[in-house]
Each structure stands twice: as C-alpha cells, then as structure tokens.
C-alpha cells in the first residue's frame, strides 16, 4: 500500500524505513502537516499516517475519502485530533498505536517532577554562569510525599510503579479503578477533588475527551493542596492554562511541568528560535521560574519510536490483508 506519512521528521523516516523492510509498503514522507490545505497531497495514497498535531477533521476526511484514501493510521496513542464519526460516515478506517512505550512517558513524567522539585533547570543555567549559590534551589524529599495520578491506564499504572519505588504514597482517580494497583498499595479516590486536596504532586495521565477538557480549571486549582506541583504529560487541553497561570501567580500552584500545551500545534515540533512567539499565554508560562516546559517529547525514546513504527506498519499490513487494522479506533456508540 502507499502510505503518505505527514508531519514527517528525519527520525520518523529512519524508524519507519527500518520497520518497513520486510513489509514492502511504499512510504512517502511529507514534512507538512495534514490539514485542509494539504489534504490534496494525499492524491493516490491508500493510507495516511498522522501524528498528534495533524488536523483530521470532517473537511480533511472528506478530502481523503474523495481521493481514495481508505485508512488513517495514527502513529500515537491519543486520537482526539480525528473526527471519528466523520471517518465512520465516509468509510475511512482509523487505527492507532495503543501502547508503544508507557515507560517512555512515565519516566519523562518522573524526570519533570524531579527537575522541578530539585530545580535542576535553574541549577544547570546557574553553574554555566559560574554561579554556585544555593539560594532558591531548595527542594523536598519525594520519599513519603503523596502523588495523585489522574488516569491509571498504561502510562498512569507504570508511573504508579515508579513512584511506589521512590517511597511515595500514591493516590489515583480513574472511572475504572485498577485492582492490581490497589493490591500494590495505590489508593483510588472517589472523585477528582479528593485526589487534588490530598496530593503534593498531581500528574495527569488521562486522555483528552469532552469530559476531561479543562479538567484542571479554576475550581480544580482551588481544590489543590496549596503549593502542590502539577504535571501534565497527557494532552494540553486537559488543563485550562489561564486558570493554572492564575494559580501560579498567587502561589496556589507551587510548580508546573508540562510536556503538552493546549495551543501546541502552532508551536511544537518546529524550530521557532528566530521568530517571535505570538501566544501571550504560552509566553507568560515561560516567565515563571517554577514552570518547566518540554515540547511533547515524553514519548521520544528509541524503544518507543521502534514500537510506533512496528505497530503502524503492522496495522497497515493487517488492513491490506484482512480489511481491518490491528488496532482500530471507532467512534463511541451514539
């Protein structure tokens, strides 16, 4: 099958070409994002392969279907950027990579917690300037602290294991509590507020859905333990950034670590260092000493990229052979 890989970087090419050797699909790498202005580039493709910030809305799906594209293969776990109902209506199949490396994201989450807590980002900059002053670098022991995990799927459960290893008390909130985690000592809260009120660190590992959109809003910030740290390595819009900025300004939020941002599709994955950042909300975030931003890199390990390429190629091969990908994503009933 011909697969047009949108938003392709050099690392995508390297890992996909390696995994495609045995499969023999025709890969076409396009640096541009998929969207209404670029959908015409998929003319002649059987499948498109897209990433987190490609926009696969109704217009794009209509454009793909009219050009004969039969499969949208997401090379990520989240699928909030695809209009699944429109895809179903147009008979275009959608698939994803449900779990490529929960360790990659969970370990990056721990890296963010430790960096913010021990101020490694500030220490690094200071030492380079010959400043060995410790004032302002005071942290706390993670051992014995309470960490609340929102969403205990693949990544949340892996994160819980890592934090138990640090000697943390781990709380969780998930509509589908995980009995195995409970047996390991993780305490499931009855609601989000209970978790927020008791946690020194809150980490978001739930998908972006209509329910979790702006899950952390002004009320949720107020429900947090004063001075608690907030980490988001799930999807940007789970946080209402303006509400969290307000919390940072008055000290209610003691630190913020984000790998994702609600308006990230205008920023992330590109080198904008010679340009002016037009997003004032994002620019404000960068002024806080207790805010750490990474540009959606939590997934970015060799193991994860290998697994992403392998599963995506396997999805396309299964679709070609059986008419259905291995990991289909379908619109919820109704």
* CB of residue 265 to ligand NAI, shortest distance in Å: 14
Contact 75, 308 (CB under 8 A): yes
Binding mask 236-275 for ligand NAI (x = CB under 6 A): -----------------------xx---------------
Least Cα distance to 74 among 65, 83, 85, 63 occurs for: 83
Report the Cα–Cα distance between both ends of the chain, in Å, rounded.
32
Which member of 20, 81, 115, 234 binds ligand NAI (CB under 6 A)?
Answer: 234
Given the residues 33, 70, 296, 327, the one annotated as active site: 296
Closest C-alpha to 3, from 19, 153, 11: 19
Residue 154 binds to ligand NAI (criterion: CB under 6 A)? yes
Give the total of residues touching ligand NAI (CB under 6 A): 31
Q: How far is CA 197 from CA 3, 49, 193, 219, 292, in A?
A: 48, 41, 6, 12, 23
Subset of 189-228 contacting ligand NAI (CB under 6 A): 205-209, 211-212
CA separation for the pair 61, 48 (Å, rounded): 11
User: By CB under 6 A, is residue 25 in contact with ligand NAI?
Assistant: no
Q: Is 150 in the site for ligand NAI (CB under 6 A)?
A: yes
Return the SS3 of 170.
strand
User: 83 and 57 in contact (C-beta within 8 Å)?
Assistant: yes
Nearest Cα to Cα of residue 64 among 29, 38, 27, 84: 38
Find the shortest distance in angstroms from Cβ 151 to ligand NAI. 3
Q: What is the DSSP string of 288-327?
A: -TTEEE--S-TT-SHHHHHHHHHHHHHHHHHHHHHSS-TT
Among 55, 75, 108, 235, which one carries the catalytic annotation? 235
Q: Can you read off the two tokens belonging to residue 8?
A: 């392709």
Name the catalytic one among 264, 307, 310, 327.
264
The stretch near ligand NAI (CB under 6 A) out of 63-71, 150-158, 270-278, 322-330 is: 150-158
Span near ligand NAI by CB under 6 A; candidates 12-20, 84-92, 146-154, 182-190: 146-154
Q: Judged by CB under 6 A, which stretch of 30-38, 167-175, 241-249, 313-321 contacts ligand NAI?
A: 167-175
Active site residue 235: yes
How far is Cα of residue 288 from the mean position of the Cα atoms in its chain? 22
User: Which chain residues interact with ligand NAI by CB under 6 A?
Assistant: 77-78, 99, 102, 105, 150-156, 173-176, 205-209, 211-212, 233-235, 259-260, 296, 298-299
Q: Would you name the residues annotated as active-site residues?
A: 235, 264, 296
């Amino acid at each position: 099958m011909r697969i047009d890989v949108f938003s392709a970087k050099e690392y995508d090419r390297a890992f996909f070409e390696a995994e495609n050797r045995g499969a023999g699909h025709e890969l076409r790498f396009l640096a541009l994002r998929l969207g209404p202005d670029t959908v015409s580039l998929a003319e002649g493709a059987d499948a498109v392969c897209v990433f987190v910030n490609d926009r696969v809305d109704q217009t794009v799906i209509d454009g793909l279907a009219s050009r004969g594209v039969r499969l949208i293969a997401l090379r990520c776990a989240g699928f909030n950027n695809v209009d699944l109902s429109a895809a179903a209506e147009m008979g275009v199949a959608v698939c994803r990579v449900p779990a490529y490396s929960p360790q990659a994201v969970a370990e990056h989450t721990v890296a963010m917690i430790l960096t913010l807590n021990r101020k490694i980002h500030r220490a690094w900059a200071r030492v380079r300037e010959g400043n060995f002053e410790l004032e302002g670098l005071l942290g706390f022991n993670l051992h014995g602290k309470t960490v609340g995990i929102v969403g205990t799927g693949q990544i949340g459960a892996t994160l819980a294991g890592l934090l138990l290893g640090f000697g943390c008390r781990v709380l969780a909130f998930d509509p589908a509590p995980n009995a195995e985690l409970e047996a390991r000592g993780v305490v499931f809260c009855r609601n989000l507020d209970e978790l927020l009120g008791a946690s020194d660190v809150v980490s978001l590992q739930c998908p972006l859905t209509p329910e979790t959109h702006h899950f952390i809003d002004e009320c949720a910030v107020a429900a947090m333990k004063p001075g608690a740290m907030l980490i988001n390595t799930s999807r940007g819009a789970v946080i209402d950034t303006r509400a969290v900025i307000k919390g940072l300004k008055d000290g209610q939020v003691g630190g913020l670590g984000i790998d994702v941002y609600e308006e990230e599709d205008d920023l992330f994955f590109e080198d904008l260092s010679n340009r002016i950042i037009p997003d004032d909300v994002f620019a404000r975030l960068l002024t806080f000493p207790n805010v750490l931003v990474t540009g959606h890199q939590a997934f970015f390990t060799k193991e994860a990229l290998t697994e992403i390429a392998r599963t995506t190629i396997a999805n396309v091969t299964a679709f070609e052979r059986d008419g259905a990908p291995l990991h289909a994503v379908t619109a919820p009933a109704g």
